[in-house]
Amino acid sequence: MAKLHDLLGLYDRKSPPGTVAETLEQRRERIRQRRAEGKGIRAMPGEERWLQRRCVSSLFGEMQAVEGFARILTECPNVPWELKKKLARITWDEARHMEVYMKMIPKHGARLDEEPDAPFMFALLRDPDPAIRLVSARAGEGLTLDMLLTLREEFEKLGMPEWSRCMDYLLADEVSHFRIMGQGVDTLTSDSPEHRERVDEYRRKLTRAIHKEERGTVYKVAQESREVGGATSEEMQEAKRFQAESAKYQQPS
């Protein structure tokens, strides 16, 4: 199975401490320590560290999304005008989302400099084929829907209704993005079944790689949001399978 970093040509796992990537050795040590404490390999909902990590990683994800969608507008002249208008709306939405996470980070005791994040979105949205860029973003957007639903429920448990409602607003935006990206892929591949098959195969390959990389990340599947966003039965099955495998992998050994 292809690794996400190899598939995207992203970064070297042996990069030194202090770079954007967590090294393989650092990851192994972190997992070893959590196992020794009787925990799963990743922080789980209910742990303070989980909430802090989501705040910071979500901010970085939104920053990369703004860059990625703006680059589709400027680098892909053959994208139809109607689709470009929708992508411009997504870019603006993601900029607003950055503001939300910037307010969340200090509120929940996190810091920007303590959770370096990998530039996955930058890598996902640099292919010369705009259909590949959109299907790549959609693959990541599905996990975002699941994460936001889980965050909303977590804030409810913490007695923070204002933040729970905020996650609802973000979720509404991301559902529309998920749907627009799916429609965009349909538009860009409508005149070539061969092109569509290449894009679909890339999506399957990328989804498997993302799920392998994110194994142990446990969210509640946002089934209703995915369905409203036009998720296919194949995408729904992939999401449910990933969460079932993640929950099993997460268990302390």
Per-chain mean pLDDT for the chain = 80
Query: Minimal CA–CA distance to 87: which of 100, 101, 102, 68?
Result: 68
In this predicted structure, what is the pLDDT of residue 19? Answer: 37
C-alpha of 63 from chain center: 12
Q: Spell out the domains of the chain, with CATH numbers in brackets.
A: 41-250 (1.20.1260.10)
pTM above 0.85, yes or no: no
pLDDT digits (tens, 9 = 90+) for 160-192: 899 999 999 999 999 999 999 999 999 999 999
In this predicted structure, what is the pLDDT of residue 113? Answer: 65
pLDDT over 80 (residue 13): no
> Sorting pLDDT into bands at 50, 70 and 90, what band is 8?
very low
Residues 220/149, Cβ–Cβ less than 8 Å: yes
pLDDT over 50 (residue 15): no
Vertex 178: Cα angle to 197 and 9 (nearest 5): 60
Count Cβ atoms within 10 A of the Cβ of residue 81 and give its class: 0-12 exposed, 13-18 middle, 19 or more buried.
Answer: exposed
The residue whose two tokens read 């109607």 is 82
Residue 246 C-beta-side C-alpha neighbours within 13 Å: 23
